Structure 1
Amino acid sequence: MSSTRAAVVVQTPNGLHVCIEPIAPHTFHVRLNRTGRFEEPAPLARLGVVAPSPLPVCWETKTRGEEMDVSTDSASIRLDRHSGQLSLYGEAGTLLTRQNRPPRVGCGTLSGPGGAAAGTSEDGFETQFALAAEERIYGLGDQHDTPLMKRGCKISICFHVGKEVHAPVPLLLSSEGWGLLMDTDRRHEFDVGSSSPDVVRIRGRRGELAFYLFASDGLAGLLQKYSELTGPAALLPVWAYGLAYNCNQQTTARDMLEDALKFRREGIPCDMIGLEPTWMDRPFDYDAPVDWHPDRFYNPQWLPQGAHTFMGALHTAGFKLTLGLYLQDNGEAGQQRNLPEDWYNYLKPFVAQGVLGFNLCTKIPVREMANVPVAADDSALDTENLPHSTLVGRSIREGFATQTGQRPMIYTPVGYTGIQKYAAVWSGGRTRAHLSVLGLGLSGIPHMAVDMELHTAAGIHFGFFQPWSKVNSWAYWRHPLLLDPELLRLFKTYAKLRYRLLPYIYSAAHVASRTGLPIARAMPLVFPDDPHAVTQQNQYMFGDAFLVAVFTDRVYLPAGEWHDYWTGEKFAGPADIPYHLPKQAGGPLFVRAGAIVPMWPDTEYAGQRPPDRLELHLYPGGDGECTLYEDDGRTYGYLHGEMAETSIVCRDDGRVFSAEIGLRIGRYPDMPERRAWDVVLHTLDKPSAVKVDGQSWRETNGSHKEPPPASWSYYRKTGTLRLLVPDAAERQASLRLEFVRSDGREVQRMSGRRQRSLPCPSSDRRTAGELEKDIEVGLATESTVKALSTLERWWAVRMAESDSVEDVREHWLAMNGLFVRTAERKGRTLHEIAGGDPLLRTRLQPPDNAEDAYSSLAFIAARLIEYGKRRGDPHGIVRQATDIIMSEIDQELSLQAVADRLHLSSSYLSRKFKHVIGLAFSDYVLEKKMELAKELLLAGSTVAASAEQTGFKDTSYFIRVFRKYWGVTPGEMRS
C-alpha cells in the first residue's frame, strides 16, 4: 500500500492497482489498472467536465486484516485488499452499494505526449455492483424510448448512426442513496439488471476502469453532488425561458419578419426567432468567415448595423435572433478535427449586429433529429465521447461573454456529461418525448426541450410545460397562425400562461443552476417515499407548485390537497383519478395546496415592462414557501451577487390562511425601487375578514379598474380574492397577510367550483341517470372525489337541458331524494346527520338559482360522506373490500377470502359489490391487477417482477392473462 497527500493506492495479489482519492466529503474518485501509473489529468478532468475542488478534504484510512476503510465525515469506502472489491457506506455507516465480484481490468491505457493514447488494452474493463430488491436506478441521459427507471435496461454510452441517443450521460443515481459517474471518454455499456436482475454491470473495451462514487440522501441530493462534481448548469437569459420559434429553412429576411410580426398582431407572446444554417452564404467549416446569404438575407455593407436592418427591426419588436450552425463533420475513422483557437472571431460580426444566440445542428436527421455519426468499424469505438457540441458551446459561451458581457442562448441536439455548463439541449419529434426531458433532468441536464407537437392539444400542453419551449418549422410550416381556430385559441392560452409564469420559471431555473434540481422534476425526485408516485411516467412536477400530466387521461395525486388549475376543483390525495379535459385545456394541470406562484401581468415578450408590479397567486389548504430570484436577466452579474431574493411563506391552520412576504434582499442594476403585489387568493369560500399587517381591510365589489386603498374584492365566478398591496419605501419588516375563513370552510374546501365555470366535458357521454348511479356509488363507498366530481358533471348535464327556476328546484329535489335514501341506508335522516347544525338546515331549503343549488348539493354530499367516515358506517363494506384489494394487490385475492375477513357470506358480498361498483368482484380485481402491471412495465420493471407484484406466482400464466386483457404481451408493452 502507498499513499500521497491526496490519494491512497493499493496493489492486490493478482497485480491490480486500486487508487482511491476523496475529492469531496461525499465523493471518491476510484481508478483501477494493472500498470500502477495513473496519468493526470484523468479523462473527464482533461476534457474540462470535472474540475477538482479547491477545498481540502479531511479523510483517514483504517486497516483491519484484508479490509481497508477510506473515510471522510460524510461517507467511506471499504476496500478488500485481496480481491480489489469495494463497498460504499453512508454517513451513518449504512451500506449503500458494493461490488459483488472482483473488477476485471486489462493492461490499461497509457497516455503519450499531449494526452494521445500510447497503448491500449484489448480486453478493457468490467465491474458490477449488487442491486437491492427494491432499488431503483435512474440517469444515463437521453436514451431513445427507454423508461425513466433504468433497471432492466441495457444501454450503450456512445454516439452512433442508427442509435437515437442525443445525450448519453454515464451517470447512475440510485434510490438507495448512491451515485456513480464513469470517468471515461470512450464507448462503454451499462447493463442495469437486464442480464442479471440483481446486478448492474459496466463494461468497456479499452482503457482503465475509473469512476466517481458519491453518496447523499435522496435523488435530489445526489443530483446536487453531481452538479458540484461536474459544474452547475448555465443559467439561460430570462427571455430564453419564454417561447422560441425557428423559421423554415428556406425562409428569407422578409419571411422571417413576417413570421415575427404575426405573433405580435395576434397577441401571442414570443421572444426568440431562430434561423436554420441556410442563412449563410456557404457551409461554415470553422476555418474561414461566412456572411449573410446575398439573396435571402441581403444586408448592405455600408450600413450593416442599426434599427434599419432586419435584425434591428426584430429588436424593435422585442425579438431576439439566434443563428443555426452545423456541427463539424467527423473525419476519417470517426476522428474529430481540431477547432481553430480563434474560430469564434468569425461569429463576432453577427453578434455585433445583434445576434444573441446559436442553434447547433447536425446534418443527418434521425426522426427529424440527428446524432453525431461515427464509422461502424472498431476504430470508431476508441474515439472520445465528448461531442463537438461541447467544444463549440464552450467556445461560444466564453467568446460571447468576452465580447458582450452577456449570456447567450446556445442549444444543441447532442451532448455528453458536462454539456449543461455551456448549452441547453433540444430534440426533434419522437415518441414519448417527455421522457427525454425528464430523463435528462435526472442526469444533471436541466435545460432540455423537445420541439412542440403543434397540431394536437396534448402536444401544445406538454410543449409549454418544458424547461424551455420551442416551435420548430425546419422543413415544414408550423407557425401557430396556420392552426385551426380551436388549436390557435388553445396555443394562445398556453403562450400567455407561460409568459405570466416567467418569474416562477426563472426562479426554478436559478435553483437548477445552484443545486442541479431540474425545472421539470420526475415524480421520484419529489415523492421518493410514495411507491405509487415513483412509477408515474406521464406526469411530473414543474417547479415546486405545478403537477403536470401529459398524454394521459388519468392522474395520480400524492398526499395533500390539490387544486385543478383549469376548473378550481379541489382533490384530496393520495388519489388515482380519471381526468376529463375541459375545453380550455390540452392536459391535466394541478397546483399543490400551499403553493406560492409569482406571475407577471400579460406581456408580449420578456422585458417589455419593468417588474415593479407582480401578481402573487396563493393556494390555501397547506403550508408552503418559495424564494423569488431576480436579476437583470441578461448578464453574469448574478454570479457576483448582483441579484435580489424575496422569501415568501404561507401557513394554513384551518381557520386562518396567512402569507408573509419578506423584504427583497440584494440589488441588481435597474432594479425597481418599489414593488407592488397584486395578491390573488384562490378560494371557493369568501373569507369573513382580510388583514394586512394586522389591520382589517374592507371589502369592495371589485368594479374599480384600480381598487381603492386598503380594500379587497371577491369574485365568485372565478373563485378568487384579489387585493393590491403597494410597497412602502420605509418598510423594514415582512408584509403579513391573513385571510380568516367563514364557518362553512371545511365542506366548501372539499366541494368543486360552481357548475357554470365547469362545462361538462364533451368526452363524457353518460346520461344523467348513469351519472346518478356513479354518485350513489361514491356516496356508498365514501369516496369524496368520485361523488363530488360526478355530481358536478350531473349538474352540468341537467343545467344544459334547462336552467329555469322551476327546473333548478326540480333537479335539486331529485338529488336530495337520493341523499335521503343514502341517509336511510346509514340508519339516519338528513336532519339527524345535521346534528342541529343550522348551516346544514339552510342548505335543505330549495334555492332559487343554479349556483346556490349546486353549492347546497355539494355541501350535503360532502357532509354525508364525512358523517359516514366519522361514524364508521357498518354499511361501507364495499369500501372495506376495495381497501383490502388495493392494499394486498400482490396477493391472490378470492371473493371467499375477502368475505371471510369481513365476516360476510360470499354471495352477499358479491351482490353488494356488483350493486355498488358495477363490476363483479373478480372483474374488479383483474382490472386493478392489470392496470398496476401496465404501470410497472412502463416504469421499467421486468416481466417476472411485475407478475410477482400483482400476485401471479406463475409468470407464463401472467403473460397469457396480460395478453388477453391488453392485446399485447408484457414484453411488447415494455418495448
Structure 2
Amino acid sequence: MKSGILAAVLLAVGLSAQQAPPRGRSITLGDLTAFDVADNVFTIAAGADRVRVMFYRDDIFRIWLGPDGAFTDAQPTPGDAQMVVFSGAPIAAAWRDAGEYYRIESRTCVLRVYKKPLRFALFDKDNAVAVWQETRPLTYGPSTVQTLRRADTENFYGGGMQNGYFSHRDTSVNIRLNTRGWGDGTTPNPAPFYMSTAGYGVFRNTMTPGKYDFLSPLALSHDEPRFDAYYFYGPSLKKILDGYTLVTGRPFFPPRWGLEFGDADCYNKKGRTPDVIAKVADVYRANDMPAGWILPNDGYGCLYVDLDTTVQELHKRGFYTGLWTEKGLERIAQEVSALGSRVMKLDVAWVGRGYQFAFNGMRDAYEGIEKNSHSRGFVWTTCAWGGGQRYATIWSGDQAGNWEYIRFHIPTVIGAGLSGFNAATGDVDGIFGGSAQTQVRDLQWKAFTPIWMIISGWSKQTNLMKQPWIFGEPYTTYNRKYLKLKMRLTPYIYSYTREAYDTGVPTVRAMVLEFPGDPATWSKRTQYQFMSGEWLLVAPVYEDSPIRNDIYLPAGKWIDYWDGREYNGPMTLNGYDAPLDKLPLFVKAGAIIPMYPEMLHDREKPKDPVTLDIYPFGGTTFSLYEDDGTTQEYRKGAFARTPIGVDAPTSIDAPGAVIAVTVGPAKGTYAGMPASRSYVVDAHVPAKPARVVIGDRALPSFAAADATRAARDKVRAEFDAAAEGWFFDGADRRGVLHVKTTAQPLAAGFTIRITM
C-alpha cells in the first residue's frame, strides 16, 4: 500500500491523540494486510487495526497499537507530569520482505513482523537467536494482552517496588497500587516495566493498572484497550536500565547531605516546632551520632510554628529541615524560598490515590524546591509509578519493625533498583513496633543504601520514639558504628549515586546485575544479599540469630571486611559468625573504596584527607565523583571526576611484587573545590613491604618496637602525627599497610608504588 493511501485510510478511521474509549469485548489481531514505511515510521495493518513501529535508537523501539486505526496517548493532558521524557525522532531502520515475515533491523537487533497472523518477535543482530516471541497476536478490549514464549531458564525483574520480591519467574505480579497493610506482597510503588535475562526490557506506556504473569507463556496485561510499549535490547541488564531511564527519566540526583541519616516526628501537637532542636538535634550531637536532616512536623494535623528560626538553629547543628504534607503544596514556594525548607515528604493521605495524581504531586514537590532555591529537589513519597524515579525517594509504607520486616525489605529494595528507583527504602525498624535488636540489624544493612531515615511518634513499644539511642547501651554504640561508617563511605556511595543518575544502574545492586553470567544469581537464591556499588557484598541478618547462613559468594576472591579472612568463590558460606554488632560484609578483591574523614555531617569539616581503602588484585579502577553537594550546578557541568587505579599482580605474596596506586588529575571544577589535599592509602597486603615511594621519592617508614598492643599504638600515634610516611600493621585485618601523603595538587595526580 502506498504511503499516501494508507495515511488517508488512517485519517478516515479517526487517527486520534485522545484517550482510548472503553471496549466491551476482546479482539485479537488478525493477519497482516498491509506494510508501509514513511518518515521512519513503520505502519502495519491487520484489517482496520493499525500498528506503528518506531526505532529511536538501535536498541530502543516502540510498538504502538491503534485499534480501528485510532492511536491514543497514555497521558493526553499536557499539564500532567509525563512518564516519557525522551523526545528523539524515529531513526531509519532497514527492512525487507523475508517471505513469512517482514524483517526490520538495526545495527544491534532484528524485529520480525510475522504475517499470518500478525505477530512480533525480537532476534539478535544475526537474526539467529530469539530474544522474545509472541505466541499469539496482541489482544485488546477491556484489557490489552501481549503473550510471549518463556525460555527454559529465563528470569524476570522489575514491576516497581514489589514488597518482598525482586525475581518473578513462575509468579504473577500486580502492576497496580496496593497499600493495604503495606506488607509482603503489596505494591506501594508499582511501575509498568520489566526486564528479562533473555536480554530485553519492556516499558508499557500507560497509567492504568495491570498484571504480569511470568508463567509459561507470559501474559502481560493492562486494564485498557490500548497497547503502547517501548522495548529495550541489552543484552545486559545494565544496558536495559540505561535505555529505560533514558526514556522515562534518570533517577534524581540527591544532595550529598541527603545520604545522611534522616529523622522525622511531630513536635507541634503537644509542644512547639522548635522543641526538635533540644529534644532531637542536640541529642544526636551529644551522642556523637551523624545525621543530616529532620522533618519536625511529620504527623497528621501537625502544622508548624517558628519554622524560620527552627530551620536556622538546625542548620547551625548540621541539619537541613524538611516538611510533611497530608493535604497539598500550596505553601511550598514560601516554605522553601523564605523559610528555608529543603525536603518534602508526601503522605499517603494526599497521594494515596496514586497514578497520575501522585505523579503530579511528586513533580510539583520536586520542582517546588528547585524553582524556589538553588538547592536540589529532595522528596519522599509512596504511591509512585514508572518515571517517578526522577523525582523522589520511594518508601515501602507504614509497617511494624520486626524480623519479618527486615526479611522482606531486602528483596523489596533490590527489586526497586531493578525498576530504575535508585532511592528506595523503608523506615529503619518500621514506623510501628520495633525492638533494640531489630533496630540494630535494620540500621546495619541500610547503611549501605543511598537514602535512609527513621520515623518516630507512632510506636507504643518504643514509647513513640525511634532514635538510634533510645534503647541505651550496647545498642547505641552498635548504631553509632554504622552511622559513622556510612558517613565515611560518602564518596563511595555518592559516586555510585551519580552513576545511577547517569545510567539508571542503582547503587543497591541485585547480584545478577554484577554477576549476570552466574545462574545462581538469577533467581530468588540470592534475594537476601546484594552488592552496594561494585565492590561491597552485603548479607543482612534477618533472623534473631548470631549466625548467618546461605551467603553466596560468586567466583573470585572475597575478603571479610571486618577481619580480612579470604574466601574463594563460587561458594556458599554457612555458619558465619554474626553477633549483633556485626553485619556480614565482604569485599570483592581489587576493590577501591574512597572514604572521607569521620564527621557528624557533611559541612562539619574539610574532606581531607581522602582515604583509599584498597584490596589489590589485578588491574582495577574507580572514578571518584565530587561536586558542591547541594546546588543544581552539576547539571551545568560543575563537578570533578578523579580517576583512581590500582595495578597489582593477582598474587602479591612474592618478594619483588609491585603494587601501583595511581590517583590521576581531577577533571572538571566546582565551587569550593580544593586545590590540593592529602591522601591515606590503606592497602590490604599480607606482609610488610620492602619499600614505598611516591613518584621517585621514598616515603619514611614507621615500625613498632615489638608486637605488643602498646607498641602498635605508639607507632600509630607517631604515624598520625607525621606529615607523610607508612607503616605496616600485621595485626590489623590480617595485614594492612597504611600510607600517608602530604597535600597533593588535584590538577596533577600522583602514583604510589609499593614493593613487596
TM-score surpassing 0.5?
yes
Name the amino acid aligned to 1:168: P
Shift, 1:58, TM fit = 2.8
Shift, 1:412, TM fit = 0.5
Equivalent residues of 1:33, 1:105 under 8 A apart: no
Aligned sequence identity (%) = 24
1:661 lines up with 2:663 in the alignment: yes
Report the equivalent of 1:713.
727
Name the amino acid aligned to 2:42: V
Q: What CA distance in whole angstroms lies between the structure 2 residues aligned with 1:436 and 1:151? A: 16
1:235 lines up with 2:253 in the alignment: yes
Shift, 1:728, TM fit = 3.9
Q: What CA distance in whole angstroms lies between the structure 2 residues aligned with 1:346 and 1:452? A: 27
Q: What CA distance in whole angstroms lies between the structure 1 residues aligned with 2:675 and 2:575? A: 45
Q: What CA distance in whole angstroms lies between the structure 2 residues aligned with 1:261 and 1:175? A: 50
Change (3 A) 1:623 1:248: farther
Give the match's secondary structure for 1:398: helix
Report the equivalent of 1:435.
411
1:12 lines up with 2:46 in the alignment: yes
How does 1:79-90 map onto structure 2 within 5 Å? 79-90=113-124
Name the amino acid aligned to 1:256: V
Name the amino acid aligned to 1:219: L
1:143 lines up with 2:162 in the alignment: yes
Report the equivalent of 2:319.
319
1:446 lines up with 2:479 in the alignment: no
Shift, 1:705, TM fit = 5.7
Deviations 1:674-719 (A, max 9, x none): 1211111123322222222243323113332645455211223323
How does 1:511-550 map onto structure 2 within 5 Å? 511-534=499-522, 535-550=525-540
Q: What CA distance in whole angstroms lies between the structure 1 residues aligned with 2:238 and 2:101? A: 32
1:408 lines up with 2:377 in the alignment: yes
Gaps of 5+ in 2: 1-34, 400-404, 430-434, 459-463, 543-547, 652-656, 704-714
Q: Relative contact order (alpha carbons < 8 A, sep ≥ 6): 1 or 2 greater?
A: 2
Report the equivalent of 2:37.
3
Report the equivalent of 2:340.
354
Give the match's secondary structure for 1:491: helix
Name the amino acid aligned to 1:200: L
Report the equivalent of 2:752.
737
Report the equivalent of 2:554.
558
Shift, 1:644, TM fit = 0.3
Q: What CA distance in whole angstroms lies between the structure 2 residues aligned with 1:92 and 1:406? A: 48
Deviations 1:430-457 (A, max 9, x none): 4511111101000111110111126323
Shift, 1:346, TM fit = 4.6
TM-score (norm 2): 0.84
More strand by share: 2
Name the amino acid aligned to 1:721: L
How does 1:641-652 map onto structure 2 within 5 Å? 641-652=637-648
Q: What CA distance in whole angstroms lies between the structure 1 residues aligned with 2:332 and 2:496? A: 35
Change (3 A) 1:632 1:44: farther
Name the amino acid aligned to 1:52: F
Change (3 A) 1:393 1:321: same
1:103 lines up with 2:138 in the alignment: yes
2:698 to 696, 699, 702: 696
1:24 lines up with 2:57 in the alignment: yes
Shift, 1:735, TM fit = 1.5
Q: What CA distance in whole angstroms lies between the structure 2 residues aligned with 1:346 and 1:224? A: 33
Name the amino acid aligned to 1:77: L
Q: What CA distance in whole angstroms lies between the structure 2 residues aligned with 1:205 and 1:506? A: 39
Deviations 1:919-967 (A, max 9, x none): xxxxxxxxxxxxxxxxxxxxxxxxxxxxxxxxxxxxxxxxxxxxxxxxx
Equivalent residues of 1:327, 1:388 under 8 A apart: no
Q: What CA distance in whole angstroms lies between the structure 2 residues aligned with 1:512 and 1:139? A: 16
Number of matched residues? Answer: 666
Change (3 A) 1:734 1:584: farther
Give the match's secondary structure for 2:518: coil
Q: What CA distance in whole angstroms lies between the structure 2 residues aligned with 1:501 and 1:88? A: 42
Report the equivalent of 2:288.
267
How does 1:139-538 map onto structure 2 within 5 Å? 139-145=158-164, 147-160=165-178, 162=180, 164-193=186-215, 198-248=216-266, 250=269, 252-257=272-277, 258-278=279-299, 292-293=303-304, 297=305, 299=306, 305=308, 309-326=309-326, 344-363=330-349, 372-373=352-353, 386-427=355-396, 428-429=398-399, 430=405, 432-453=408-429, 455-456=436-437, 457-475=440-458, 476-534=464-522, 535-538=525-528
Give the match's secondary structure for 1:680: strand
Shift, 1:458, TM fit = 2.1
Report the equivalent of 1:132.
151
1:725 lines up with 2:741 in the alignment: yes
Shift, 1:397, TM fit = 2.0
Q: What CA distance in whole angstroms lies between the structure 2 residues aligned with 1:16 and 1:56? A: 21
Equivalent residues of 2:86, 2:248 under 8 A apart: no
Equivalent residues of 1:9, 1:19 under 8 A apart: yes
Equivalent residues of 2:255, 2:630 under 8 A apart: yes
Q: What CA distance in whole angstroms lies between the structure 2 residues aligned with 1:695 and 1:61? A: 63
Change (3 A) 1:460 1:396: closer
Equivalent residues of 1:426, 1:448 under 8 A apart: yes
Worse-superposed segment, 235-244 or 551-560: 551-560
Change (3 A) 1:204 1:711: closer
Q: What CA distance in whole angstroms lies between the structure 1 residues aligned with 2:90 and 2:45? A: 26
Report the equivalent of 1:943.
none
Q: What CA distance in whole angstroms lies between the structure 2 residues aligned with 1:205 and 1:346? A: 35
Name the amino acid aligned to 1:180: V
Change (3 A) 1:326 1:445: same
More helix by share: 1
Shift, 1:66, TM fit = 4.4
Shift, 1:733, TM fit = 5.0
Change (3 A) 1:327 1:222: farther
Q: What CA distance in whole angstroms lies between the structure 2 residues aligned with 1:496 and 1:189? A: 42
Equivalent residues of 1:99, 1:129 under 8 A apart: yes
Q: What CA distance in whole angstroms lies between the structure 2 residues aligned with 1:587 and 1:707? A: 32
Gaps of 5+ in 1: 107-122, 282-291, 329-342, 365-370, 374-384, 742-975
Name the amino acid aligned to 1:322: G
Q: What CA distance in whole angstroms lies between the structure 1 residues aligned with 2:211 and 2:637? A: 42
Change (3 A) 1:253 1:577: same
Name the amino acid aligned to 1:735: F
Name the amino acid aligned to 1:101: R
TM-score (norm 1): 0.65
Structure possessing the higher radius of gyration over alpha carbons: 1
Change (3 A) 1:668 1:44: farther
Name the amino acid aligned to 1:508: Y
Q: What CA distance in whole angstroms lies between the structure 1 residues aligned with 2:77 and 2:645? A: 41
Q: What CA distance in whole angstroms lies between the structure 1 residues aligned with 2:456 and 2:720? A: 42
Q: What CA distance in whole angstroms lies between the structure 2 residues aligned with 1:728 and 1:126? A: 61
Report the equivalent of 1:680.
682
Q: What CA distance in whole angstroms lies between the structure 1 residues aligned with 2:562 and 2:580? A: 7
Report the equivalent of 1:615.
611
Shift, 1:128, TM fit = 0.5
Q: What CA distance in whole angstroms lies between the structure 2 residues aligned with 1:40 and 1:359? A: 30
Name the amino acid aligned to 2:253: L
1:72 to 92, 106, 109: 106
Worse-superposed segment, 343-352 or 684-693: 343-352
Name the amino acid aligned to 2:206: T
Change (3 A) 1:590 1:434: same
Shift, 1:486, TM fit = 1.6
